[in-house]
Structure 1
Amino acid sequence: MSNRANRAPNQARVIPLRPPAGRQGTAHVADPPPAPREPLWRDLVGDVLRRERQAQERTLQDVADTARISMPYLSEVERGRKEASSEVLAAAAHALGLTLGDLLERARGELVRAAGRRAGARRTPASSSYDGLCLAA
């Protein structure tokens, strides 16, 4: 009789993805720690917008009204939940007295710093020293 016939009709079969711990004949090797998550561009841009708005002691509503975008949408952009268009980013930047270039340059600086923290000691003298940002359409 097959294994399938022995199971109840609504019983799921569990297939483990990893061998059980302490399995005979295998040495236990600690899993390497997970690599830090590379920051997303929308998170970096949102952080820059929020920091600049807070440094100016302005409310979300004030900046959203000046930029002519909705306050909930600006909040989502600041929290990195929405991937804003260049028009929205330019409007938010201008509402804060920045150019789009200023906003993107500050976000680029954040990305370079984050990449430096991730690379840490992994960087070797033979590696490239280029820390620029390339965007492709």
Structure 2
Amino acid sequence: MPAEPAPKEPLWRDVVGDVLRRERLAQERTLKDVADAARISMPYLSELERGRKEASSEVLAAAAHALGLGLADLLARAHHQLVRPARPLRSRTAPRSTEAQSRFGDVRLAA
């Protein structure tokens, strides 16, 4: 039986757009209000929210500030949305020593 294909990774622009839209709606603000405050066009903000455009860091910062967020806040929220609990990896080889295993517990690095 073939293995299931891995789920598609979301695009960064989709995740950032979703964060912008959720924050705007949580504040009960219109596209026009936020676009005006950010000094970007309303259609462009709409395209950002829908993940249709890749925004520059300057535009992202302006949109974030218009929502009362810093650029770091926006990026942290997007990052949080992307991070999934790491699933345990099966080791192909046995641990080198029980001393190493006991020192580090069940710590694993994921790429």
The two structures have a TM-score, normalised by structure 2, of 0.77
* Gap runs ≥5 in structure 2: 92-105
Q: CA deviation at 1:33?
A: 2.1
Q: Deviations over 1:71-128 (max 9, x none)?
A: 1111111111111000100000000000001101111111113xx3xx5455775631
Q: Does 1:98 align with 2:79?
A: no
**Secondary structure of the corresponding residue to residue 80 of structure 1:** coil
Amino acid at match of 2:75: L
Instruction: Give me the CA root mean square deviation.
Output: 2.1
- Higher gyration radius (CA): 1
Higher helix fraction (1 or 2): 2
Q: CA deviation at 1:129?
A: 6.0
Q: CA deviation at 1:41?
A: 1.1
Query: What is aligned with 1:45?
Result: 16
| Deviation >6 Å, runs of 4+ | none
Q: CA deviation at 1:31?
A: 3.4
Q: Does 1:128 align with 2:109?
A: yes
Q: Structure 1 residues 122 and 40 mapped into 2: Cα distance closer, same or farther (>3 Å)?
A: farther
* Percentage of pairs with the same residue: 72
* Gap runs ≥5 in structure 1: 1-29, 131-137
Amino acid at match of 1:39: P
Query: What is aligned with 1:111?
Result: 82
